[in-house]
Amino acid sequence: MDISSILSGYQQKHLSVGMLGGHSALDIAHGAKKHGFSTICIARKGREKTYAEYFRTRSSKHFSGGKMKNCGCIDETIVVDKFEDVLLKRHIQKLQELNTIFVHSRYFWVYFSDYAKVEEEFALPIFGSRHLLKLEERDGSTTLTTGQPYHQMHLLRDAGIRTPKAYKSPKDIDLGRMVIVKAREAQRSYERGFFLASATDYEERVARHIASGMITEESMQGATIEEFIVGAPVNFNFFYSPITGELELLGTDTRRQTNLDGFLRMMAEDQAWAKQFTPVKMVETGHIAVTVKESILEKAFELGEKFVAQCKKLPRKLDPTGKGIIGPFALQGAVVTEDGKEDIVIFDVSFRMPGSPGTFATPYSRYLYGESMSVGERIGMELRAAAHENILEKVVT
């Protein structure tokens, strides 16, 4: 697939930005509109109202002076039966006619049974790293893929970034060590369920969570077993610009999880009592902004720089473009204190738009640009600069 020839046929003064309807679509669309692009959302039937109705672009009377003012950020919505239908020729052709640059999210991995089709057949320029998204996959065997031999944990370790100790088998767990087990959920196979265990109660806890319906025996075959890091969870949301060659920290956030957050609002004795009625789960449901001490920032940037450098070293069989990471990515982990010193341990990576639009509420983009900026706005800014300088090929794959 020749992205260069597709771009050459575009009217670069009339570019559109496309996205799948979910995850961070509204953040992407808002940022695109702010920088003068049209927006197109591919929404799944039954979930299209958010984009086709509630946040569609339209004129509305603003309270200030009663003048008509545009509101909303989705110019056009294409409704499909399933997200994979975006690969159909008629949709690709329409998106090309609208000069569309697509911004991908985790939805491309979650809702596509064969991600290779996105890499090889999705004939639209993608802002970001088309070929690196598969490295997010960490399970040895899943219902979604046949496994990813080289994945994010290999890359992190090759980059010299600290990660939790991993165990190939429950028999390898150190005595006295607490581990977190990550296995595909029974009902939502595209998401992972989390539970804690130790060497002495591992089998008992697995059986309990299978009985509760959270996971299955089959999903445990590809489960990840890692040292449980006791620290303050922080997601470091970065942006690497191929145009400037600079790494930026756009914001920091942490996760809201159900039903864990509900348990944490109870007193200790009530938590123990409540567990007889419902097991504790750690299902991500949203994000909240957090800040970190300035003394931690240099360490965070060091990890980001190592990550960017290692992505550029990936062999062409993993990244045929040789461009490495482009635009937004997130290093997700925890800040720990050991021997009186703080360190950052990374246990997850997003090789694309992170799912936390509230990062603009942290001050780091304001320190850099003089105003707070969401990830979607930063993408719009990068696309506008690339289009203005006629170097879109630098930021798309």
Predicted local distance difference test score (pLDDT) of residue 67: 75
Q: What is the span of the domain harbouring residue 100?
A: 3-127
Predicted local distance difference test score (pLDDT) of residue 142: 35
Within-domain flag for 158: no
238/212 same-domain check:
no
* Pairing label, strands 38-44, 16-20: parallel
State pLDDT tens for residues 65-122: 667 788 999 999 999 999 999 999 999 999 999 999 999 999 998 899 899 999 999 9
Mean per-residue pLDDT for 214-223? 90
188/290 same-domain check:
no
DSSP 228: P
244/217 same-domain check:
no
Could you give the strand order of the β-sheet that contains 224-227, starting from the edge strand earlier in sequence? 166-167, 224-227, 179-184, 192-197
Contact 108, 133 (CB under 8 A): yes
Share of the chain above pLDDT 70, in %: 96
261/223 same-domain check:
no
- In whole angstroms, give the CA distance from residue 163 to residue 44: 36
Predicted local distance difference test score (pLDDT) of residue 62: 66
CA separation, residue 283 to residues 184, 256, 326 (Å): 11, 8, 28
| Alpha-carbon torsion, ordered 274, 275, 276, 277, to 10 deg | 70
Within-domain flag for 140: no
Mean per-residue pLDDT for 324-330? 98
State pLDDT tens for residues 278-309: 888 877 788 999 999 999 999 999 999 999 99
Predicted local distance difference test score (pLDDT) of residue 65: 65
If DSSP codes are grouped into helix, strand and coil, which group holds residue 384? helix
3-state secondary structure labels for all residues of 125-148? CEECCCCCHHHHCCCCCCCCCCCC
221/333 same-domain check:
no
Is 90 exceeded by the pLDDT of residue 249? yes
Predicted local distance difference test score (pLDDT) of residue 143: 32
Within-domain flag for 208: yes
180/103 same-domain check:
no
| Alpha-carbon torsion, ordered 111, 115, 119, 120, to 10 deg | -110
Is 70 exceeded by the pLDDT of residue 139? no
DSSP 395: T
Predicted local distance difference test score (pLDDT) of residue 231: 96
Share of the chain above pLDDT 90, in %: 81
Looking at 127, 149, 178, which one is the last position of a domain?
Answer: 127
Query: Phi then psi for 151, rounded to 5 degrees?
Result: -130, -170
40/121 same-domain check:
yes
- In whole angstroms, give the CA distance from residue 226 to residue 60: 52
Of 76, 112, 83, 80, nearest in space to 97 by CA: 76
CATH number reported for the structural domain that contains residue 43 in this entry:
3.40.50.20
Looking at 76, 102, 127, which one is the last position of a domain?
Answer: 127
If DSSP codes are grouped into helix, strand and coil, which group holds residue 354? coil
Mean per-residue pLDDT for 6-13? 95
Contact 344, 239 (CB under 8 A): no
- In whole angstroms, give the CA distance from residue 329 to residue 161: 15
Is 50 exceeded by the pLDDT of residue 335? yes
Within a 10 A sphere around the Cβ of 211, how many other Cβ atoms?
Answer: 10
| Residues 39, 84, 255: CA angle, nearest 5 degrees | 70
Within-domain flag for 98: yes
Burial class for 54, CB neighbours closer than 10 Å (0-12, 13-18, 19+): exposed
Within-domain flag for 112: yes
Structure tokens at 32: 């695109």
Arithmetic mean of pLDDT over the chain: 93
Is 70 exceeded by the pLDDT of residue 30? yes
56/39 same-domain check:
yes
208/297 same-domain check:
no
Within-domain flag for 150: no
Concatenated DSSP letters of 52-85: IIITB-EEEE-TTTT-EEEE-SB-EEEEESSGGG
State pLDDT tens for residues 256-285: 888 999 999 999 999 989 988 988 887 778
Within-domain flag for 274: yes
State pLDDT tens for residues 154-206: 999 999 999 999 999 999 999 999 999 999 888 877 777 889 999 999 999 99
Structure tokens at 127: 């802002």
Predicted local distance difference test score (pLDDT) of residue 145: 39
Predicted local distance difference test score (pLDDT) of residue 141: 37
Within-domain flag for 153: no
Largest Cα–Cα distance in the chain?
A: 70
CA separation, residue 205 to residues 23, 124, 212, 288, 340 (Å): 31, 46, 11, 30, 33
Per the structure, how many domains does the chain have? Answer: 3
Residue found by looking up tokens 């890692």 in the block: 226
Structure tokens at 239: 């942006």
301/288 same-domain check:
yes
218/252 same-domain check:
no
CB crowding 309-340: b at 16 or more within 10 Å, else e? ebbeebeeeebebebbbbbbbbbbbbbeeeee
